[in-house]
């Protein structure tokens, strides 16, 4: 009870002070509400924003004054003779922006010193061999497509984009011929292939069911062979037209000076035999073409034999593993007359011969490139007109060092001299 009485006394003594404090707070809030009724922070003076920066009115006037002063100073300096500009003090130069100072006075001593230091740091003596070679390659590097492309780049671009070489050589009239022949041949090739594929599938399904030769099977096989032949002819025509126009871009190339050796080698790489034609060694063309025709035929023949015995081996091995599933015997084309080991040996033999022919074709391709390159070199080889061979008898005397008292003997021989 005594504690409560003390608290009530304190409140009675300070109640007037609390009442006056609350009254003062209320008067302040009402006054601020009348001045700013929405309770927002009051904005100061109006600011002007230009180019993303805020300028106060006094700073704008100052910037205008500085611009006028700089413009007046520039006009004054332009009227001074160039020889007298070197006498202008540094305090005047600092009043100008960097761009104006460089345009009027040029580079100052500090900038020249920095450039000389950077140049000295990048001299070849201070670089390693690897860095020097990298800088040389960077300096000598030219863009792939430019007004002065190399022969190699023109041929590569023509292979990627047919007709680029004709456009680069400004022979635009060849473009309709190029796209006409390539497009027509490619379209006919795709059309023949679309006819050939369903006939081949039907022929394989009929031969899987029965190996008997029926009139329907023979007619289907003739139709299949016809469309397959058309497909191959149009495919060869498409490839030949495509390679011809790449070679034409190489022959008509005249931007930079290119030797006959480079052109002959490039043509031989584009198409086998083209380098020999360019060197006018026409008697070598049938050898190159005949060699490629022979190896390609051998590849195709061995591949067909490999596919044939591969299928026969698969069917015979399946029959040996599950004879109950084939009550009529083995379904291979030989009727089960050969065992699996014999068929496997034939399959591996044809595959090995096919791979060997592919390697021979690659070797023949490299050989005809070397032949075209060497033949082009020899055509420019200078042989003296004083080419002569002389053969004359010779008589000599032999001396035996091991037995000097035995004497020597007379020797007979021939002297051969060659002048070229």
Return the pLDDT at 169.
Answer: 87
pLDDT band, residue 52 (cuts 50/70/90): very low
Establish if 134 belongs to a structural domain.
no
Q: What is the mean pLDDT of residues 293-310?
A: 92
49-55 average pLDDT score: 47
Q: Are 270 and 246 in contact (CB under 8 A)?
A: yes
pTM across the whole model: 0.55
368-377: average pLDDT: 91
User: pLDDT band at 152, cuts 50/70/90?
Assistant: confident
Domain holding 405, by residue range, is 388-419
Among 258, 284, 301, where does a domain finish? 258
Report yes or no on 99 lying in a domain: yes
pLDDT given at position 8? 46
| Among candidate residues 228, 258, 288, the one where a domain is terminated | 258
Give the list of residues 6+ apart from residue 368 with CB closer than 8 angstroms, or none. 268, 272, 273, 275, 276, 288
Residues 118 and 164 reside in one and the same domain: no
Residue 110 sits in the same domain as residue 177: no
Average pLDDT over residues 224-246: 91
> Total domain count for the chain?
3
At residue 293, the pLDDT reads 92
Alpha-carbon Rg for the chain, nearest whole angstrom, is 49
Q: Looking at the domain assignment, is residue 8 inside a domain? A: no
**pLDDT score, position 44:** 47
Q: Is the pLDDT of residue 187 over 50?
A: yes
Please tell me the predicted confidence (pLDDT) of residue 415.
Answer: 79
Q: How far is CA 372 from CA 31, 113, 145, 231, 256, in A?
A: 105, 58, 28, 32, 21
Is 338 part of any domain? no
Mean pLDDT of 159-171: 89
pLDDT at 377: 85
Which among 128, 163, 180 is the end of a domain?
Answer: 128
**161 shares its domain with 66:** no
As a dihedral over the C-alpha atoms of residue 179, residue 181, residue 187, residue 191, rounded to 10 degrees, the angle is: 180
123 and 155 assigned to the same domain: no
Q: Can you give the pLDDT at residue 31? A: 46
Average per-residue pLDDT in the chain?
76
The pLDDT of residue 33? 44
Torsion of CA 303, 295, 221, 189, to 10 degrees: 110
**Same domain for 163 and 234?**
yes
* Inter-helix orientation angle 260-270/215-251, to 10°: 160
In angstroms, the CA 248 to CA 233 distance is 22
**Count of Cβ atoms closer than 10 Å to residue 256 Cβ:** 10
């Amino acid at each position: 009870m005594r504690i409560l009485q003390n608290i009530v006394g304190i409140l009675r003594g300070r109640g007037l002070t609390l009442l006056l404090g609350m009254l003062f707070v209320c008067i302040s809030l009402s006054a601020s509400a009348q001045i700013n009724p929405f309770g927002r922070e009051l904005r100061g003076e109006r600011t002007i924003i230009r180019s993303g920066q805020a300028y106060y009115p006094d700073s704008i006037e100052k910037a205008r004054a500085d611009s006028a002063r700089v413009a007046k100073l520039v006009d004054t300096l332009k009227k001074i003779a160039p020889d007298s500009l070197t006498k202008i003090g540094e305090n005047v130069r600092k009043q100008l922006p960097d761009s104006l100072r460089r345009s009027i006075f040029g580079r100052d001593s500090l900038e020249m010193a920095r450039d000389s230091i950077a140049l000295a740091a990048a001299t070849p003596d201070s670089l390693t061999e690897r860095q020097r070679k990298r800088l040389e390659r960077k300096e000598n590097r030219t863009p792939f497509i430019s007004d002065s492309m190399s022969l190699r780049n023109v041929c590569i671009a023509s292979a990627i984009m047919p007709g680029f070489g004709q456009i680069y050589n400004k022979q635009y009239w060849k473009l309709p011929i190029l796209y006409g022949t390539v497009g027509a041949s490619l379209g006919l090739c795709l059309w023949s292939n679309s006819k050939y594929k369903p006939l081949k599938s039907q022929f394989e399904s009929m031969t899987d069911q029965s190996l008997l030769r029926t009139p329907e099977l023979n007619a289907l096989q003739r139709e299949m062979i016809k469309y397959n032949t058309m497909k191959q002819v149009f495919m060869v025509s498409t490839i030949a037209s495509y390679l011809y126009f790449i070679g034409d871009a190489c022959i008509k190339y005249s931007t930079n000076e290119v030797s006959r050796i480079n052109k002959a080698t490039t043509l031989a790489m584009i198409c086998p035999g083209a380098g020999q034609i360019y060197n006018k060694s026409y008697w070598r063309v049938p050898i190159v073409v005949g060699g490629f025709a022979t190896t390609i035929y051998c590849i195709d023949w061995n591949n067909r034999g490999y596919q044939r015995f591969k299928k026969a081996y698969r069917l015979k091995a399946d029959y040996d593993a599950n004879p109950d599933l084939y009550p009529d015997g083995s379904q291979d084309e030989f009727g089960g007359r050969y065992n699996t080991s014999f068929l496997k040996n034939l399959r591996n033999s044809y595959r090995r011969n096919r791979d060997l022919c592919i390697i021979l074709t690659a070797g023949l391709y490299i050989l005809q490139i070397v032949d075209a390159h060497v033949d082009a070199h020899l055509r420019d080889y200078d042989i003296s007109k004083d080419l002569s061979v002389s053969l004359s008898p010779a008589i000599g005397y032999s001396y035996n060092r091991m037995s000097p008292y035995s004497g020597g003997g007379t020797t007979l021989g021939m002297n051969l001299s060659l002048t070229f």
